[in-house]
Amino acid sequence: MTALRGWLRGFVRVRVRGGSPGVFLTRLMEAGHAAWSVRTEADGSLTCSMEARTFLKCRGWARRARCTVRVLRRGGFPFLVRAVLRRPGGWAGAIVCLCALVCLSQVVWRVEVIGAELTPEAEIREVLVELGVRPGVLRHHIDVPAVELELLRRIPRLSWVNVGLRGTWVVVQVAERAVLPPESPGSPVALVASRSGTVTAVVVLDGRARVQEGDTVREGQVLIEPPGEGPCAAARGAVWARVWYQEYVEVPKAVPQSVLTGRHWTRRVIRIGRWTVELGLPKREPPFLSYRILERRQPIIGWRNASCLVEAITYIYCETREQINTVDDAQEAAELAERLAWARIRPLPGATREETEVRVELIHETPDVYGFRVVVESVEMIARPQPYSKKR
């Protein structure tokens, strides 16, 4: 907050040499003035930032501390305004550019369609053009609810449509209706196993079950056959089975990890459309070799669901250092191997953490790594439709 107030009022970055810089800084604070970004340099001098009006009063404090105070640079809003007023042409150009930017940001420059797989994208774009959604139109001329309803009415294959205004883009997200593959005449449909396993439950809605609880099935085996041989005969139901997944996982005994040191460096910018303006000091690289970046955005000018036209962005560079974490306990390594194996298996359809059993077995150990075999048992629904033939 002190730095922000200093930027608004104007600040100077100074170097204090000779005498007792600490005494000078103490007298300055006792007088009720603020200094920030204080740093002691290698040559024993002290650098800090202070408000410009504070600098004008510090001659007496420097004399008592037997120091010399030299200005390194100036910054802040008053100095920025002074520099701009010296160049009226640049000021007028900035105003013209800002007005042009605001006007151009109200125009649609791109239309993007997301989610169309079975429906041709060209068909959707053709309907959008008829509805007035195309590059070059004003954003406020687009009636979003009406466009969404009209797309659903004209293209029956769509089950859901969302039209979003993101700055100068119009993003149209669609979801299509699930369409079952047409059945060929004389080909009934059965339910077969999508993978091998041991059956735990069978539910038959239409047809005849070929397996029961406790049976072991292989991938492709018929689980429920259709009730007849006609072209419309289709088995309906569900079959759950216990299936197995096996993974080999290696856990290194020495794991490098990046940890925070507690030091940080802040950079602030104003984003106007696609352009950014640095606040405070000129742009420079962070004073750390390794770091993580935290980003905070504060909208200044925006409208409804559009992306912000003007926003303040704060980048916080947090210094990090490398630290080696050792895994000496086989039990700890086994727990880590289980988490790694589950991270690979979790995306598989039907696999849930609550319905799984995990077995971890140490296969080998070297001076550098542990090797584990991880077996995961999961209860999943394995029935899938497939054309049926009596030859099975």
Q: Are residues 136 and 122 in the same domain?
A: yes
Nearest to 287 by CA among 319, 322, 323, 321: 319
In a domain, 181, yes or no: no
pLDDT, residue 179, reads 53
Domain containing residue 53: CATH number = 3.30.70.2280
Angle at 305 between CA 301 and CA 306, to 5 degrees: 55
Tell me whether residue 391 is in a domain: no
Tokens of residue 295, six digits: 């980003």
Residue 208 structural domain: 189-238
Stated pTM of the model: 0.38
Q: What is the pLDDT of residue 392?
A: 47
Per-residue pLDDT of the chain (392 residues; tens, 9 = 90+): 677 888 888 899 999 888 888 888 888 888 888 888 888 888 888 899 988 888 888 888 888 888 888 888 888 888 887 877 777 777 788 788 888 888 888 888 889 999 888 788 889 999 999 998 988 888 888 888 899 999 988 888 888 899 988 888 899 999 887 654 444 445 788 899 988 899 999 988 888 899 999 899 998 899 998 887 766 788 888 898 888 888 888 888 887 888 898 899 888 888 876 777 887 666 678 888 899 999 988 877 655 444 556 788 899 999 999 888 787 778 888 888 888 887 776 545 555 545 677 888 888 888 888 888 888 888 888 888 888 876 54
Does residue 87 belong to any structural domain of this protein? no
pLDDT value for 62:
86
With a CB cutoff of 8 Å and minimum separation 6, the contacts of 147 are 128, 131, 133, 163
Q: Does residue 266 share a domain with residue 233?
A: no
Look up the CATH number of the domain holding residue 114: 3.10.20.310
Looking at residue 349, its pLDDT comes to 53
pLDDT at 97: 85
In a domain, 390, yes or no: no
Same structural domain for residues 334 and 372? yes
Nearest Cα neighbor of 351 from 361, 363, 343 is 343
Please tell me the predicted confidence (pLDDT) of residue 319: 92
Strands of the sheet with 310-326, listed across from one edge: 275-278, 254-272, 310-326, 291-301
Buried b (16+ CB within 10 A) or exposed e, 228-248: eeeeebbbbbebbbbbebebe
Residues 205 and 159 both lie in one domain? no
For residue 71, the one-letter residue type is: V
Do 76 and 9 reside in the same domain of the chain? yes
Mark residue 343 as left, alpha or beta (left: phi above 0; alpha: psi -120 to 50; beta: remaining): alpha
Do 8 and 70 sit in the same domain of this protein? yes
Same domain? 312 vs 376: no
Q: Which of 168, 203, 238 is the last residue of a domain?
A: 238
| SS3 state at 124 | helix
Residue 148 lies in a domain: yes
**pLDDT recorded at residue 316:** 92
Residue 270 included in any domain? yes
What is the pLDDT at residue 162? 92
Asked if residue 226 lies in contact with residue 207, where contact means CB atoms within 8 angstroms, the answer is yes
Task: Report the distance separating Cα 286 and Cα 278, nearest Å.
Answer: 14
Convert the pLDDT of each residue in 104-114 to its tens digit: 888 888 899 99
**Could you tell me if 319 and 331 lie in one domain?**
no
Asked if 72 and 6 sit in the same domain, the reply is yes
Residues 232-261: pLDDT tens digits? 788 888 898 888 888 888 888 887 888 898
Indicate whether 72 and 15 sit together in one domain.
yes
* Dihedral over alpha carbons 271, 276, 281, 283 (to 10 degrees): 140
Using the 3D structure, point to which of 305, 323, 341 is the last residue of a domain: 323
- Per the structure, the count of domains in the chain is 5
Same domain, 331 and 319: no
Q: Are residues 303 and 371 in the same domain?
A: no
CA distance linking residue 309 with residue 304, whole number of Å: 11
Residue 30 falls within a domain, yes or no? yes
